Each structure stands twice: as structure tokens, then as C-alpha cells.
């Protein structure tokens, strides 16, 4: 075969292989877009574990009608415009590839209205082919509808699991999000029934309520609140006492500048801090937020953005280890270092 450029839809479908693994990845991308748009309330409707339908509606800033085709165009984004922007990016998205990828492997509809516009507009894409933008009534904000995920990619469809399993992945991810964004109201329904409702939390004092809603009272009754800052880094959150340790690592939430990440440096520092207080084979429970200058951390490591790279890895490791070690040692001695909550 001669060398030839790939058709756009195929390029998007190839990218979808990295960004869209299963319904939960679609929910993640759509909800992150809603958060980037400043939404205070996000409604998520699912059918059949998200395979049949994922509908995400937000009350954020919306998309102007004439920009709808760009929203589903590859590498088009409103979030960065230069390398400088990329290096200090504060939004969850910036690659401009989630919507085109998702739209290339589903029956996709994007509806939106911005402030100052009398009516909304709507754009339909089926299997990557966009229809013309049409006027469509819509409240302020955006609704994205994704139907029949992978209907045109049988190889992917075969990897989807049972409805329960896919729903479980979605709920796990939403739990992680609910912990990070207590001020945002999240409603989730599955097959027409409300399955989760995280009510918005108004202030820091109420934050434990969201924590309990997401992780249960067992965690909130056996955790320490920590807060520690040094060398331009700040770590805060809740660490489970040894009595809250679990047989699996299912209650471990770590965020870097508001983004849930899996990172080996972090994992190692946490494990080391707990080493003295936990039995082998037990896993600590924690919800921790690390804040640092965005220029100190590269989030552009993988399309799905689960991973980050710290510029000063050793410093970060040491800081996390020390913060947790002190808090846990204090707890053991019954002294300060963290107030039991
Ligand atoms: P990215 O989030 O990386 O910019 P996406 O493909 O996810 O790329 O979205 C493309 C663009 O569409 C965004 O930059 C944003 O301008 C717009 N957009 C997508 N979803 C929403 C939403 N829910 N509300 C407002 N704008 C949105
Ligand atoms: Mg996005």
C-alpha cells in the first residue's frame, strides 16, 4: 500500500482507543468538561451501565452555536493557546480530543446555550460524521448525549463487561470526583432511577458530610484531618487511622491540583509513612490533596491524564512522607499532629 493520510474519523477512532476505554472514561471526560465550564450542578443519566446511554447535563457557561463544530473537531480547545498555557494549565482538559474521540465511536449529540443567546443549538454526530448545527431550545449550559458506545467498533464492544461492572466503574470514578469537588452537586440515575445524589457542600465544616457520603462513617470516625505546607507544597485532607485500614486499596484517593492521579512516587511515600503503623497486607484509607505550582508538575503524560510527572520528585516524596509520618506518629502517641475528627 502507498503511504496515505488516514481519514479524520479513523484518526479519531484510533485516539479513542487511548481516551475511551469504557463508559466510565466517557463519563469522566464529559464531567470534567462540565467542571471546566464552571458547572455547579451536573446530572448524569445512564442506561445499561452507560453502554446504551450516557447523558451529562451541566449548568456551566455553555458553548456558542457557531463553536459547536469546533468542540467536536480534533485538537480544538478553548483551554490553552500556547506552550506557556500548557505549562501552567489549571483546567482538567486541554488536549481537545475527548469529544471528537467519543463522537467517533458513538451516536453523539451536543446541545448548549450561552448567556445572552435567545435559544440554544444542537449538533449531532454519528460515527464521526457531523450534521449541520440546528437551533434547539436548551437551558443555560450544556448537554452531551452518548448513545450506543462502540456500536461501530465491534472489537471494543466485546471488551465491555456486564452492566453492573460498568456501572461500578462509573460510580467509583464519581466517588473520587465527589471527594474532590464538594461544592458541586452531582446526581446520577441509572435505568431511570436515582442511584446517587451528592448534595453540594457549602463550607469546609460540612465537608465531612460529603466524605461520609462517599466513603461511609467508618472512615470519618477513624481518620485524622491533616494540613501541612512547606517548600511551596501544601498537603491537606484526611488520613485513616490504622483501625480504618482495609484488606484492599479501595479507599485511596490522591489528587494533585484537584486532579485524581495514580503516581508511584506518591504511592511509595504514603506506603512508607504507614509502614510502622500497619500490619503487612493491610491498606491505608486516605483522601489527600496536594497543591503545588502547576509548573512543578507535568500533567501531559498520558491522554487519559491519570498520571503526572513531578519536576522535583524527591522533594515531593519527602514532603508527603514527612507530613503523614508526623500525623500518624502523633496519633499513635495520642498527641497533636492531627485532630481526631
Ligand atoms: P478539552 O476539554 O481538552 O478542551 P474536549 O474535546 O473535551 O477538549 O472539548 C472541546 C471543547 O469543547 C472544550 O475546550 C470546550 O471549549 C468545549 N466544551 C466541551 N464540553 C463542554 C461543556 N460541558 N461546557 C462548555 N464547553 C464545553
Ligand atoms: Mg475535555
pLDDT digits over 75-130, tens only?
999 999 999 999 999 999 999 999 999 999 999 999 999 999 989 999 999 988 99
Tell me, using a 6 A CB cutoff, whether residue 26 lines ligand 1: no
Environment class of residue 76 by beta-carbon count within 10 Å: exposed (0-12), middle (13-18) or buried (19+)?
Answer: middle
CA distance 299 to 94: 10
Question: What are the residues whose beta carbons fall under 8 Å from the beta carbon of 188, sequence distance 6 or more?
Answer: 44, 46, 170, 171, 174, 194, 195, 196, 197
Query: Domain limits of the chain?
Result: 8-198, 216-340
Fold match between domain 8-198 and domain 216-340: no
pLDDT digits over 151-165, tens only?
999 999 999 999 999
ipTM entry? 0.99
Residue nearest to ligand 1 atom 23, measured at CA: 34
Residue nearest to ligand 1 atom 2, measured at CA: 93
User: Any idea which ligand is nearest the CA of 72?
Assistant: 1
Residues around the ion ligand 2 (C-beta < 5 A): 33, 93, 98
Domain 8-198 has CATH 3.30.565.10: yes
Task: Say which CATH topology domain 216-340 has.
Answer: Ribosomal Protein S5; domain 2 (3.30.230)
- If phi over 0 gives left and psi between -120 and 50 gives alpha, with beta otherwise, what is residue 224? beta
Q: How far is the CA of 260 from the centre of ligand 1 (A)?
A: 19
pTM of the full structure: 0.93
Give just the sign of the alpha carbon dihedral 329, 332, 335, 338. Answer: positive
Pocket probe for ligand 1: among 20, 28, 29, 36, the residue whose CB has the most ligand atoms within 8 Å is: 36
Rg of the chain taking only CA atoms, in angstroms = 21
Q: How far is the CA of 297 from the centre of ligand 2 (A)?
A: 19
Contact call for residues 68 and 121 (beta carbons, < 8 A): yes
Amino acid at each position: 500500500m502507498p503511504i496515505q493520510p488516514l481519514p479524520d474519523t479513523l484518526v479519531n477512532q484510533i485516539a479513542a482507543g487511548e481516551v475511551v476505554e469504557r463508559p466510565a472514561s466517557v463519563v469522566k471526560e464529559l464531567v470534567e468538561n462540565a467542571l471546566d465550564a464552571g458547572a455547579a450542578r451536573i446530572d448524569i443519566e445512564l442506561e445499561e451501565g452507560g453502554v446504551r446511554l450516557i447523558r451529562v447535563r451541566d449548568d456551566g457557561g455553555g458553548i456558542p452555536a457557531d463553536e459547536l463544530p469546533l468542540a467536536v473537531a480534533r485538537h480544538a480547545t478553548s483551554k490553552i493557546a500556547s506552550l506557556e498555557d500548557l505549562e501552567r494549565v489549571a483546567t482538567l482538559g486541554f488536549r481537545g480530543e475527548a469529544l471528537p474521540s467519543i463522537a467517533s465511536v458513538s451516536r453523539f449529540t451536543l446541545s448548549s446555550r450561552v448567556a445572552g443567546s435567545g435559544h440554544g443549538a444542537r449538533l449531532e454526530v454519528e460515527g464521526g460524521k457531523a450534521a449541520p448545527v440546528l437551533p434547539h431550545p436548551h437551558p443555560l449550559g450544556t448537554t452531551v448525549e452518548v448513545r450506543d458506545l462502540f456500536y461501530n467498533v465491534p472489537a471494543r464492544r466485546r471488551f465491555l463487561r456486564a452492566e453492573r461492572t460498568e456501572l461500578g466503574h462509573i460510580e467509583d470514578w464519581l466517588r473520587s470526583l465527589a471527594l474532590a469537588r464538594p461544592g458541586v452537586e452531582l446526581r446520577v440515575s441509572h435505568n431511570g432511577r436515582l442511584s446517587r445524589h451528592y448534595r453540594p457542600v457549602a463550607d469546609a465544616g460540612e465537608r465531612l458530610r460529603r466524605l461520609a457520603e462517599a466513603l461511609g462513617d467508618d472512615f470519618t470516625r477513624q481518620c485524622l484531618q491533616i494540613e501541612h505546607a512547606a517548600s511551596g507544597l501544601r498537603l491537606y485532607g484526611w488520613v485513616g487511622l490504622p483501625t480504618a485500614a482495609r484488606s484492599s486499596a479501595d479507599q485511596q484517593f490522591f489528587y494533585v491540583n484537584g486532579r485524581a492521579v495514580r503516581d508511584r512516587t506518591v504511592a511509595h511515600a504514603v506506603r512508607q509513612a504507614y509502614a510502622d503503623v500497619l500490619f503487612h497486607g493491610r491498606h491505608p484509607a486516605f483522601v489527600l490533596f496536594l497543591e503545588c505550582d502547576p509548573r512543578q508538575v507535568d500533567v501531559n503524560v498520558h491522554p487519559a491524564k491519570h498520571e503526572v510527572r513531578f519536576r522535583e520528585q524527591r522533594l515531593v516524596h519527602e514532603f508527603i512522607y514527612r507530613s503523614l509520618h508526623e500525623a500518624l506518629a502523633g496519633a499513635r502517641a495520642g498527641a497533636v499532629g492531627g485532630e481526631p475528627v
